Amino acid sequence: MGNIVAIVGRPNVGKSTFFNRLIQRREAIIDSVSGVTRDRHYGKSDWNGKRFSLIDTGGYVKGSDDIFEEEIDKQVELAIEEADAIIFMVDVESGVTSMDEEVANLLRRVNKPVLLAVNKVDNNKRLANAVEFYSLGLGDYFPIASTNGSGTGDLLDALIEALPEVEDDEESELPRFAVVGRPNAGKSSFINALIGEDRYIVTDIAGTTRDSIDTRYNRFGFEFNLVDTAGIRRKSKVKENLEFYSVMRSVRAIENADVCLLVLDATRGFDGQVQNIFWLAQRNNKGIVILVNKWDLVDKETNTMKEYEAVIRREIEPFTDVPIIFISVLNKQRVFKAIETAVKVFESRSKKIKTRQLNDVMLPIIEKNPPPAYKGKFVKIKFCMQLPTPHPQFAFFCNLPQYVRDPYKRFIENKLRQEFDFQGVPISIFFRKK
């Protein structure tokens, strides 16, 4: 489990530039998968060997200035609740604004590390001007220029220093299943249906569930921890950007889970926000089961299960090998099947294939369908093995790894899925030099 760091501040102070700077070098390396950087506001970064998740709270606020005020307060409060450390960014060009003071007021009461970053300090005159930010009462500040990166090293050193030690909860060897999805898709009702008691107050206001709750589930011979992603503490009349809130809330639950049960409302479809949560789980290499809830409300004339499923699979390409189950929590339809499937996905995700068996199965397939020659060079794959990691990763050793193209990687991945059944589990495949 990594730490979560939130970047807060009013619009246009350079949060996104800073955020992109921190995740870029890594993202570019990790995510050679097509279409993975769909969510621009969440990424992983590391500094001096310590990894953390970074959330940029900017970029979500749209509207007039007075809405800004309110929105930023909300974002800062959410960041205070969800993050382990907060980087508060201000801009030396505009000096201390009333909105900065407002954010500082909220942050002064927090007993979490807050680092004040004064951005756009790219010459000595501006360095001198930055002194006025002492007036915010947050102690020392870090002068940085996120466009060219100057000063970010010192800021990150201090950040790593300030982050709490993450203790692994090794004592619980039980699989952790997170129930995720957008507000009002029926996550709490799904958990109630499983546990069989209304220990959640389920009302019709979006976001009525309080903090994230772990429940030990032990019935029908299954035992696991159920992680509920918190709804959002909010009045229903605030119709503001739910997108950001549900994604931010899902981050921690997803990172701490083995399998994510993604609940979506059949009447609303597999929309942008649900997709964001899906890619978040996929990018974190978690097992995934998609649960289409409220299937009883869908007009069956126009929509058969097959068609509906096909639409979802189109949206999640290239990772289409994911179980999709149609449930109705209200009528307790297929709720148990959902859990059975999650257990199966968990087992697949922790499966270890013996090297000998892997080679016996895969090498003949590769011999029949070798990688296409590239620039007249032939790639010869000699040996493969599964790497000792928490989720399935495979290394294929060959003479010219740089010539193996994406379509062939997908071919190998599909064969692995067919032969060894990795439904619902993201697989990573590496080609390496022997």
* Binding site residue list for GTP: 9-16, 56-60, 119-122, 181-188, 228-232, 293-296
Cα 91 to Cα 99: distance, rounded to the nearest angstrom = 12
According to DSSP, the residues that pair with 180 across neighbouring strands are 262
According to DSSP, the residues that pair with 150 across neighbouring strands are 145
Cα 134 to Cα 155: distance, rounded to the nearest angstrom = 16
What is the Cα 350 distance to its own chain's centre?
20
Beta carbons of 143 and 185 less than 8 angstroms apart: no
What is the Cα 79 distance to its own chain's centre?
16
All residues at 6 or more sequence positions from 31 whose CB lies less than 8 Å from its CB, including other chains: 37, 283
Cα 56 to Cα 8: distance, rounded to the nearest angstrom = 7
Beta carbons of 258 and 286 less than 8 angstroms apart: yes
Cα 176 to Cα 174: distance, rounded to the nearest angstrom = 6
| Annotated binding-site residue numbers | 9-16, 56-60, 119-122, 181-188, 228-232, 293-296
Render 362-407 in DSSP notation, one character per residue.
Answer: HHHHHHHSPPPPBTTBPP-EEEEEE-SSSS-EEEEEES-GGG--HH
Cα 331 to Cα 222: distance, rounded to the nearest angstrom = 22
The H or E element containing residue 60 is none
Render 132-154 in DSSP notation, one character per residue.
Answer: GGGGGSS--EEE-BTTTTBTHHH
Spell 145-171 as b/e; 16+ CB within 10 A means b. bbeeeebbeebbebbbebbeeeeeeee
3-class DSSP state of 422:
coil
